[in-house]
């Protein structure tokens, strides 16, 4: 029994090595995509430029006089722009991570092949 099990495990281990690249670009790609999407969502929740845009004419800190409103609109505009840029940056980071996932094994293989 012991030997049969060992034999089976050995075969499985070898097959798994061949399965690894296959998984990386199928199930693994799916997993990585979902992770990056989650990361992006979290960034959006934190920066929330949309929420600031929706409230663009609502004065900040309850300052309802016209000066307050003016300053508020300006500040909100600055915020919306700043936050949008930050979110854009974050989007780039997320894509970057996804690309790393996509390219890393390929780069490794090419790196090895290229030297021979």
Partner 1 sequence: MLFEKQPSLPLLVCATCRGVGQLRFRRCPECRGLAAVYAPRGRLLFWHYPLERYHLALVGARRVFNIVRLIIVAVVGANFWFWAAMIFYRRLGVLANVSVSSLASALRKSDDVSVLFWLGLLTLLYLVSRLIRERQHPAVVEPYHYGKEREEKRLAAESWSAARRVPSRRRLNIALTFTDEARAALGAAYRLADRYTYNQVTALHLIYALLSFNRISNIFIRLGIPARSLAEALKPLLSRRTTTTGGRHTAPIAGEEFFQILFAAYEEAYAARQDYVSVTELLVAAIKASSEIQEILYDLNVVKQRLLNVVEWARIRERLWRQYREFRKVARRRSAKGMDRAMTAVATPYLNQFSEDLTLLAQFGHTEPCIAREREIEEIFRVVEGGQQSVLLVGDYGTGKRSVIEGIAELMVAGKVPGRLRDKRLVRLSISTLLSGTTPAGAVERLIRIMNEIARARNIILFIHNLHELVGVSAGGKQSLDVAGTLGEYLSGGRWLTLATTSTEAYAQLIAHTQLGTVFTKVEIPEMDENQAIRVLESKVGYVEHKHQVFFSYDAIERAATLARKFLRDVTLPGSALELMTEAASFTRSQKGANSLVAGEAVAAVVAQKTGIPVTSVGADETAKLLDLERELHRRVVGQDEAVTLVANALRRARAEIRSTSRPIANFLFLGPTGVGKTELAKTIAAVYFGGEERMIRLDMSEYQDKSSIYRLIGAPGEKGTGILTEAVRARPFALLLLDEIEKADKDVLNLFLQVMDDGRLTDSSGRAVDFTNVILIATSNAGTQYVLEQLRQGVATEAIKEKLLHGELAQYFRPEWLNRFDGIVLFKSLSREDIRQVAGLMLKRLARDLETKGIELVVTDAALDFLSEVGWDPEFGARPMRRALQEKVENEIAALLLAGKLKRRDTVELGAGGKIAVQ
By CB under 8 A, name the binding residues for partner 1. Answer: 1-2, 4-6, 8-9, 12-13, 17, 20, 23-24, 27-28, 31, 45-46, 48, 51-52, 54-55, 58-62, 104-105, 107-109, 111-112, 115
CB neighbours of residue 102 within 10 Å: 15
The rounded distance, in Å, linking the Cα atoms of 95 and 78 is 26
Residue 8 or 77 having the CB closest to partner 1: 8
Nearest approach, Cβ of residue 5 and partner 1 (Å)? 5
Residue 53 or 93 having the CB closest to partner 1: 53
Q: Please, what sign has the CA dihedral across residues 59, 63, 64, 70?
A: negative
Nearest approach, Cβ of residue 1 and partner 1 (Å)? 6
The rounded distance, in Å, linking the Cα atoms of 31 and 20 is 14
Nearest approach, Cβ of residue 116 and partner 1 (Å)? 8
Evaluate whether 33 touches 99 at the Cβ level (below 8 Å): no
């Amino acid at each position: 029994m012991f030997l049969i099990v060992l034999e089976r495990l050995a075969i499985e281990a070898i097959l798994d090595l061949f399965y690894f690249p296959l998984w990386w670009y199928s199930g693994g790609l799916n997993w990585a995509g979902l992770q990056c999407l989650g990361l992006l969502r979290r960034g959006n929740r934190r920066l929330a430029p949309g929420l600031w845009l929706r409230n663009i004419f609502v004065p900040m800190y309850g300052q309802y006089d016209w000066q307050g409103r003016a300053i508020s609109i300006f500040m909100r505009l600055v915020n919306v722009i700043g936050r949008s840029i930050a979110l854009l940056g974050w989007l780039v980071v997320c894509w970057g991570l996804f690309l790393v996932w996509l390219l890393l094994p390929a780069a490794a293989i090419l790196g090895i092949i290229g030297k021979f």
